[in-house]
Amino acid sequence: MKVLIVGDGGREHALAWKLYQSEKVDKIFVAPGNDGMLNIAERIAIEADQIEALAYFAQKQDIKMTIVGPEEPLVAGIVDYFVDRDIPIFGPKKQAALLEGSKAFAKNILDKYKIPTGEYEVFTDPDTALNYLQNADYPLVIKANGLAGGKGVIIASDYKAAQTAVARIMEDKAFGDAGDRIVVEDFIEGEEISVFALTDGQTILPVTSSRDHKAVFEGEEGPNTGGMGAYSPTPYVDSEMMEQICREILRPTLHALNSEGIDYRGVMHVGIILTENGPKVIDYNARFGDPETQVIMPLLAEDLIELMQMTNAVQLKYKKEIEIYDSDAVCVMLSSAGYPLTYKTGYEIKGLDQLKYHDDLILFHSATSLEAGNYYTAGGRVLGLTVVGEGIFNVIDKVYSYLDEVNFKDMHYRTDIGFTISKNKN
């Protein structure tokens, strides 16, 4: 069959890499993709937000499955548009994608159905927000309500920091219309993890856990990015904890959506803090994460396209669990210096040929261009280096040793991906 992947980053490259292994998949298109995917997929000059053009292409090419990588098309209703035209597509419809598209909507669901999360308030104007924040207890988390590419979350340690956050989000419009409303919620202490699950609207099955690293600098300092690295699975989520998360979060969330008349099919990606009083939800995502997909796909021991087909056909009840290899995976993102703010591109990437000699390394391109046989930087996050092996600390050591073999001008990466894991959890 032919498949179409919508998006252009490392997540989409990882999805293409996994789908390429399926005996069911004959041809992979990626729209718009990047040049690092050309050995396994054909790039199509259609942007992820050009829904009508994507649907026309899928119909013309008789695409049997379209997979949506980024959140923006999902929130804009790409799945509704495809389904209305009987074009196979994987992902939640517009109403379901609101779980990610609106922080206020998600918090309302959590509150209404008593799913564990932090206390919160929603504000539509800065003066009312600042009046509340003047007498609040800190630290607090201040979030842009809408989509902000993973960058619209600010932790305020005091009122002055909260003032700056409100001004940046609501007045300066740093995240555009996403900042028309803000959600202010309690800062929840504990280990932060993500759980990925597949749901067909009736059954929800966990895939695995992971840990993203959002801040641009070591020690979770600096502005939030789309993600500077990840590892999977997290040692903090054993089988007992995963069952607790299913019992207290995943299944109640699906029940809540069904009670609201929302048919959610696709990936449910839940951000969770493991507190002393149990797991609590911090946010939802309606798609595969980036860079988490770069560590999850190499661990997935099943045919991805089959899982997607079962999800669309409401057949997940026939599976007891989703099988994952008993290994660890760590990804470190190489970015352009200055990301996520201002940065320059067009620098030659050197050393990529040397990386091919490492059997345990998978290279995922996030933003590269190919010119005369050489790769050049073409964005903020440039490359993801993923290593798969036994023992999380061994895998971390390996990925950092391989990093010495690749370089480009102004290359930046975090040196502490995974180092927050306590030794006794390994």
Q: Identify the CA nearest to 411 among candidates 361, 364, 355, 349.
A: 349
Query: What helix, strand, coil percent values describe the chain, rounded to 5?
Result: 35, 30, 35
Residue 53 CA to residue 74 CA, distance in Å, equals 15
Please state the φ and ψ torsions of residue 355, each to the nearest 5 degrees: -65, -20
The pLDDT value recorded for residue 239 is 95
Residue 57 CA to residue 85 CA, distance in Å, equals 13
Q: Would the pLDDT of 425 be above 60? A: no
Boundaries of CATH 3.30.1490.20 in the chain? 119-186
Task: Name the one residue in this structure whose structure tokens are 């609201």.
Answer: 260
Helix (H) or strand (E) holding 295: helix 293-296
What digits encode the pLDDT tens for the residues 306-327? 999 999 999 999 999 999 999 9
Residue 292 CA to residue 14 CA, distance in Å, equals 10
Can you name the CATH fold of 191-318?
A: D-amino Acid Aminotransferase; Chain A, domain 1 (3.30.470)
What digits encode the pLDDT tens for the residues 25-60? 999 999 999 999 999 999 999 999 999 999 999 999
Mean pLDDT of 173-189: 92
Omega within 30 of 0 (cis) for the link into 291: yes
Residue 205 CA to residue 21 CA, distance in Å, equals 22
Q: How many other C-beta atoms are found inside a 10 Å radius of the C-beta of residue 372? A: 5
Residue 210 CA to residue 203 CA, distance in Å, equals 21
The pLDDT value recorded for residue 217 is 96
Residue 165 CA to residue 174 CA, distance in Å, equals 10
174: its two tokens: 């740093």
In which band, very low, low, confident or very high, does the pLDDT at 89 lie, cut at 50, 70 and 90? very high
What digits encode the pLDDT tens for the residues 324-381? 999 999 999 999 999 999 999 999 999 999 998 999 999 999 999 999 999 999 999 9
In which band, very low, low, confident or very high, does the pLDDT at 394 lie, cut at 50, 70 and 90? very high
What digits encode the pLDDT tens for the residues 120-168? 999 999 999 999 999 999 999 999 999 887 778 889 999 999 999 999 9
Q: What percent of the chain has pLDDT over 70?
A: 99
Residue 356 CA to residue 333 CA, distance in Å, equals 17
Dihedral angle sign, alpha carbons of residues 362, 24, 301, 253: positive
In which band, very low, low, confident or very high, does the pLDDT at 193 lie, cut at 50, 70 and 90? very high
Q: Provide the residue type at 78 as one letter.
A: I
Can you name the CATH fold of 328-420?
A: Glycinamide Ribonucleotide Synthetase; Chain A, domain 4 (3.90.600)
6 and 67 Cβ atoms separated by less than 8 Å = yes
Boundaries of CATH 3.40.50.20 in the chain? 2-94
Structural Rg of the chain based on CA atoms: 21
In which band, very low, low, confident or very high, does the pLDDT at 422 lie, cut at 50, 70 and 90? low
Boundaries of CATH 3.90.600.10 in the chain? 328-420
Pairing of strands 191-199, 204-212: antiparallel
Mean pLDDT of the chain: 95
Q: Identify the CA nearest to 212 among candidates 331, 103, 300, 328.
A: 331
372 backbone φψ class: left, alpha, beta (φ>0; ψ -120 to 50) = left
Q: What percent of the chain has pLDDT over 90?
A: 94
Residue 120 CA to residue 332 CA, distance in Å, equals 33
Q: Identify the CA nearest to 168 among candidates 139, 132, 194, 142.
A: 142
Task: Name the one residue in this structure whose structure tokens are 């196979």.
Answer: 88
In which band, very low, low, confident or very high, does the pLDDT at 426 lie, cut at 50, 70 and 90? very low
Q: Identify the CA nearest to 388 among candidates 269, 301, 289, 285.
A: 301
264: its two tokens: 């959610």
How far CA 281 is from CA of 53, 249, 342, in Å, comes to 36, 8, 32
- In CATH, the number for domain 119-186 is 3.30.1490.20
271: its two tokens: 């951000």
Boundaries of CATH 3.30.470.20 in the chain? 191-318
> What CATH architecture is 2-94?
3-Layer(aba) Sandwich (3.40)
Please state the φ and ψ torsions of residue 50, each to the nearest 5 degrees: -90, 75
Q: Identify the CA nearest to 407 among candidates 373, 377, 387, 378.
A: 377
Q: How many other C-beta atoms are found inside a 10 Å radius of the C-beta of residue 300? A: 19
Q: Identify the CA nearest to 294 among candidates 12, 65, 4.
A: 12
